[in-house]
Structure 1
């Protein structure tokens, strides 16, 4: 019994350590070509929210956004539609930032997005004039958004700076869950074209 318990604890510790390393790497994986001394436009990416108040995930992302702003001026852009509830995620995050977190700076909201791709695509008109750009979320998710911006607008991607989205020991279980979830999504996206090619090849052999 003790041996089994020790084994389970060792496996848990290993999983948490891997999630810390993976999150740390995602947070620092660039390139970051923007000037971090300039005023930052921080894009806070929303998460599905059923209630009328920001849930724990969205509250965390707002906190990341606020500490990324770091008193350097700029703008907070909240992005997210009403995916799981009646109120857009962007509105819930803005209200949390300006209410409980007492943020008094400039804010913009983008209330239509339903995916990371749409988040990035829909905020582009709001960040066109930004001096420096950061995406605030869990580090692997922010990394995905940065990659999407590089794909859609490489000129804007040259203004990317790091967000303050990694701190050792912070929300360790959530880090592990987010990392696993995004890894599975990436695997699915990677294999989907191959499955499609295989299906087309089989159809061709059948003369379809």
Structure 2
């Protein structure tokens, strides 16, 4: 019984986070920002591969070539930049042939957001793809730095019911810890 409750709680919390600080999004141009995760090896690790898949599936139907995908992350955990490893995975394994931009200097989520802002200025819709708590943290950072751009945020497809279900309670606990600095209005589910 306690195990089932933990699974439901983890699922619910991740669902809530995926729907906070997003709007309905107007306009045609779109950018999907895929945030990197520490990657000490020469190829994209498990977490970065999942984030790339979440980013690619976040592209709105009918817009694969009208959407730019921005991979963000420096060489925080290894010799190669996370952005480069994720882009290589998207192109070579997932066969993604849309527009790809790299931001390869960031070592933190705050830097991810600061460094991708120039790449977001001219788009109507912005999606940030990562695990739901991490994506929420990044959306809050964008809102703090550039409220005008934050109004363009829409939901990425980085939450799916049942996906990662067994580890979602752990992700939820970790998310609660990492999101402790967010204000109450930054955690609310968007209407």
Deviation at 1:39, TM superposition (A): 2.9
Deviation at 1:29, TM superposition (A): 1.6
Q: Distance in 2 between matches of 1:95 and 1:89?
A: 10
Structure 1 spans left out of the alignment, 5+ residues: 1-9, 191-208
Question: Residue 13 of structure 2 corresponds to which residue in structure 1?
Answer: 22
Question: Residue 186 of structure 2 corresponds to which residue in structure 1?
Answer: none
Task: Verify the 8 A CA contact 1:29 1:143 in the aligned structure 2.
Answer: yes
Does residue 155 (structure 1) correspond to residue 148 (structure 2)? The answer is yes
Q: Distance in 2 between matches of 1:31 and 1:103?
A: 26
Alignment RMSD, CA only? 1.5
Structure 2 spans left out of the alignment, 5+ residues: 183-191
Deviation at 1:175, TM superposition (A): 2.6
Task: Verify the 8 A CA contact 2:25 2:153 in the aligned structure 1.
Answer: yes
Does residue 66 (structure 1) correspond to residue 56 (structure 2)? The answer is yes
Size of the aligned set, in residue pairs, is 179
Task: Verify the 8 A CA contact 1:33 1:158 in the aligned structure 2.
Answer: no
Bigger radius of gyration = 1
Q: Distance in 1 between matches of 2:129 and 2:85?
A: 15
Q: Which runs of 4+ in 1 moved over 4 A?
A: none
Q: Trace 1:33-48 onto structure 2 (pairs within 5 A).
A: 33-35=24-26, 38-48=28-38
- Could you report, residue by residue, the CA deviation over 1:143-165 in whole angstroms, capped at 9, with x for unpaired residues? 11111101000111111111111
Q: Distance in 1 between matches of 2:179 and 2:53?
A: 26
Deviation at 1:13, TM superposition (A): 1.9
- TM norm structure 2: 0.88
Deviation at 1:33, TM superposition (A): 5.0
Deviates more, 1:37-46 or 1:168-177: 168-177
Task: Verify the 8 A CA contact 1:44 1:77 in the aligned structure 2.
Answer: yes
Deviates more, 1:25-34 or 1:53-62: 25-34
Question: Residue 105 of structure 2 corresponds to which residue in structure 1?
Answer: 112
Q: Distance in 1 between matches of 2:80 and 2:143?
A: 30
Question: Residue 79 of structure 2 corresponds to which residue in structure 1?
Answer: 86
